[in-house]
Amino acid sequence: MNDYIIKEYLFEEEYQTDFINLMKKLYSKYENYETYIGYIKELINKNNPSFRFIKIKNFIAYKNEEVIGHISSIIDSRLKENKNFIGLIGFYECIKDDELSSLLINKAVKYLKDENCDVIRAPIDLTIWHNYRFVIDQKETDSFILEPLTKNYYVDQFKREGFNFSIEYASAERTDFNTILDYTKKDYEEVIKEGFVIRALTKKSFKDDILSIYRLVNEIFQDSWSFVKISEEEYLYIYEDYKNMIDNILIQIISDKNGKDIGFCSSIIDQKNKNTIVFKTIGVLPDYQNKKIGAALLYSKHKKAQDMGISNAIYALIKIDNNVSKLPYPGVKVIRKYVTLEKTSQ
């Protein structure tokens, strides 16, 4: 049997530093790994306001004084099913060692079972407002900004411990904007003619507009899998720094003729490849869905990107049973798949 040492901790800086160093070791050859790890450091900071609602127990593994694995058990007081808390497993990183992965996963599961969690989901780093999903087929040189980084063997490590696929996702790529511009132009023109207005997020309007998006998200996605309504303070902790990236993000909000915000589309330019725009989220209030609003947003965003000289678009992390299940659309191909996993604690 391997001589592992596994330690439990909450926010002790020395262990957090070792966790980050493990990530650097695992992902130093991956595109955008610095951005991804920087984001993780912000999440695990004890000053993250999410920890007012979330209880976390971390397990970190060593062998010969070298850090080799990490996992966290997470319970959000706002996330329940049948009156019991749903247990979450996040911040998982591990070398390719089945014995070690089994020890870590089972420690996390046991903690959640002891806390009476009947359902356990993985991987979710705190909430689905943050990083979640395992990547199935990621390569070192093809990850894009906003995409989670995981090792391809993580899925099998969890399946061996009784976890099953819960929800599947995909990312897709478009290299011909004309296929969508021609398809959505008429809808865009009709929506604008009806009095709807599309505006871009700016530095001046930044806080008001991102809080408007916060309210929209809470209404649009409230019935989504594992969704929790986070506080305004938590939301600002995640997104307020985007103000310093305003030149690299493209976020548009659409309002009706009375000035009410009814939808949005967010994206970011990949700084490793400035010819690529990554679409993160598009959402429209239920009362305005199937009324060409989404098409108008897509036209506006692609036209803006094209005018900036961008010719490549990635639609990131879309749930398979949403419209992405109809892929491939003309000019679009699936480039990556992802999964979340779940098990019952019985």
CATH number at residue 200: 3.40.630.30
| CA 297, chain centre distance (Å) | 21
Which residue, 147, 169, 191, sits at the end of a domain?
169
β 54-63/66-81 pair status: antiparallel
Which residue, 146, 169, 192, sits at the end of a domain?
169
Q: Are residues 248 and 289 in the same domain?
A: yes
341 falls within a domain: no
Judged on CB neighbours under 10 Å (0-12, 13-18, 19+), 331 is: middle
Structure tokens at 272: 């490793």
Determine the structural domain holding residue 136 and report its residue range: 5-169
327 falls within a domain: no
Residue found by looking up tokens 């058990």 in the block: 73
Q: Are residues 184 and 112 in the same domain?
A: no
Q: Are residues 108 and 203 in the same domain?
A: no
Residue found by looking up tokens 């989504």 in the block: 224
- pLDDT digits 0-9 by tens, 112-168: 999 999 999 999 999 999 999 999 988 878 888 889 999 999 999 999 999 999 999
Q: Which amino acid is at 212?
A: S
- 37, 46 contact by CB (below 8 A): no
How open is the CA angle 171-19-31, to the nearest 5 degrees? 35
257 falls within a domain: yes
Q: Are residues 108 and 185 in the same domain?
A: no
Write the DSSP symbol of residue 286: G
- List strand residue ranges (DSSP E) for 115-181, in order: 119-122, 134-135, 164-174
88 falls within a domain: yes
Q: Are residues 55 and 82 in the same domain?
A: yes
If one counts the domains in the chain, the total is 2
- pLDDT digits 0-9 by tens, 57-104: 999 999 999 999 999 999 999 999 888 999 999 999 999 999 999 999
Structure tokens at 135: 């990547």
The whole-model pTM stands at 0.93
User: What is the length of the chain?
Assistant: 346
Q: Are residues 28 and 124 in the same domain?
A: yes
Q: 33-63: b or e for each residue (b if 16 or more CB lie within 10 Å)?
A: beebbebbeebbeeebbbbebbebbbbbbbe
Q: Sorting pLDDT into bands at 50, 70 and 90, what band is 174? A: very high
Which residue, 127, 150, 169, sits at the end of a domain?
169
63 falls within a domain: yes
321 falls within a domain: no
Q: Sorting pLDDT into bands at 50, 70 and 90, what band is 328? A: very low
15 falls within a domain: yes
Q: Are residues 163 and 222 in the same domain?
A: no
Q: Are residues 199 and 100 in the same domain?
A: no
Q: Are residues 134 and 198 in the same domain?
A: no
154 falls within a domain: yes
Q: Are residues 164 and 182 in the same domain?
A: no
Q: Are residues 186 and 150 in the same domain?
A: no
Q: Are residues 151 and 10 in the same domain?
A: yes
- pLDDT digits 0-9 by tens, 261-284: 999 999 999 877 788 999 999 999
